[in-house]
Chain A
Amino acid sequence: MDWLFAPWPWYVGGGVVGLVMVCLMWMGNTFGFSSNFRTICSALGAGQTCSFFDYDWKSQRWNLLFLVGTVAGGFLAAQIFPNQHMPDISSTTVERLNLLGITSVGESYYPTELFESWSFKDVSLLIFGGLLVGFGTRYAGGCTSGHAISGLSDLQLPSLIAVIGFFFGGLFMVHVLFPLIFSL
């Protein structure tokens, strides 16, 4: 049972994600996680103020159930079967992180500097990041699951364009904005 308490190699993690996508397809659905944000808006009554959310959100019940399962999966993996060691990040990356003042790498699953400080600056960054994720995924019509995994599996050109966009944005954030953000 040691494998339950250890990080999984990328080919196991990725392979399982691929299988989950295939199972959803077999259930008659399309794998796409960010649609849930729209569904949540609609369920909260956003349809009254904006026609984009005025649709039968209950038809997306399956995806909300999948979301609840995902939360439970995170709980199971982190609290019930915690990993015995933290992500084994490459030494070059560790050096880059130290230069940015992030030293929790190797001791934590995520940078505690950003996620546990609750300072005005860090909370603002999290809010800003969340807004970009919510806005950008809907504008692009999907996220990593909808475009990079299921869209590319379906050989959709729009998904390839979206994935190129994801990388443009990500590279700009990490290489241009991070040195500004984290040196302040």
Chain B
Amino acid sequence: MRTLIYLGLGLIFGVAMYKGEAASWFRIFEMFNFDSFHMYGFIASALLVGLPATQWLKRRGRDIDGKPIYIAPKRRSIARYLFGGILFGLGWALVGACPAPIFVLIGAGVKAMLVVAISAVLGTYLYGLLRNKLLH
């Protein structure tokens, strides 16, 4: 049952990302040129739903098993978020897709995205190998 729920949520998410054009390279390029409100509106509407819901769930909410909802706070640091963020931002703008749209587009039949996905897995592996040498 849960398997179906996760598959279904992924399906709805994938359709929304494609139909909402958040998986379009052109929309990402447009966003980084500040030429349109589209992507800013997209992220803002996700937050408009997500922010109040998260705040409420954290205080009062119970999950499906009746357990209180706990969200682990992220570790305090500046370097890793800034440097890691910049590296990801460079890649995001180049391939015009953050991790989820890479897979949305694979489903859409964009074969070149398979190359991007494999490279991204390798990139994560590379991070694992080098992480002790990086500033966190």
Which residues of chain A have a CB within 8 Å of any CB of chain B? 6-28, 30, 33-34, 36-38, 40-41, 44, 46, 50, 52-53, 62-63, 65-79, 83, 87, 89-90, 92-93, 96-97, 105, 109-111, 114-116, 118, 122-123, 125-141, 143-145, 147-159, 161-175, 177-178
Contacts of B88 in A (CB 8 A): 132-133, 135-137, 139-140, 143, 165-166, 169
Instruction: Classify the interface of chain A: helix, strand, loop or mixed.
Output: helix
Known: A53-B128, A164-B85. Is A13-B10 also a contact (CB below 8 A)? no
Residues of A within 8 A of B96 (CB): 110-111
Given A19-B49, A71-B104: 10 more A-B contacts, CB < 8 Å = A41-B128, A65-B3, A71-B107, A73-B13, A73-B14, A127-B116, A129-B94, A139-B80, A147-B81, A156-B74
8 sample A-B contacts, Cβ–Cβ < 8 Å, listed by A number:
A21-B49, A27-B64, A37-B123, A122-B112, A148-B43, A149-B47, A169-B91, A170-B32
Contacts of A171 in B (CB 8 A): 32, 89, 93
A132 CB to nearest chain B CB (Å): 3
Number of A-B contacts (CB under 8 A): 492
A36 touches which one: B28, B49, B99 (CB < 8 A)? B99
Are B17 and A73 in contact, with the CB atoms below 8 A? yes
Cβ-closest chain B residue relative to A66: B10
**CB-based closest 3 A-B pairs:** A13-B20, A73-B14, A165-B85
Q: How far is the CA of A99 from the CA of B112 in the complex (A)?
A: 24
Q: Mark B122-133, 1 if CB is under 8 A from A, else 0.
A: 111111110100
Assembled-state Cα–Cα distance A46/B107 (Å) = 26
Partner of B77, one of A20, A69, A97, A158: A158
What DSSP secondary structure best describes chain B's contact surface?
Answer: helix
B126 touches A66 (CB 8 A): no
B76 to chain A, nearest CB (A): 7
A139 CA / B31 CA spacing, docked (Å): 24
Q: Complex Cα distance A101/B114, Å?
A: 24
| Complex: chain B residue closest to A138, CB-CB | B127
Q: Return chain B residues, CB-CB under 8 Å to A25.
A: 53-54, 57, 61, 63, 69, 71
- Expressed in whole angstroms, the Cα–Cα distance for A8 and B122 within the complex equals 33
Whole-angstrom CA separation of A26 from B98 in the bound complex: 24
Q: Are A131 and B123 in contact (CB under 8 A)?
A: yes
Known A52-B131, A78-B107, A164-B85; contact A132-B91, beta-carbon cutoff 8 A = yes
| Highest count of chain A CB atoms <10 Å: which of B17, B27, B110 | B17
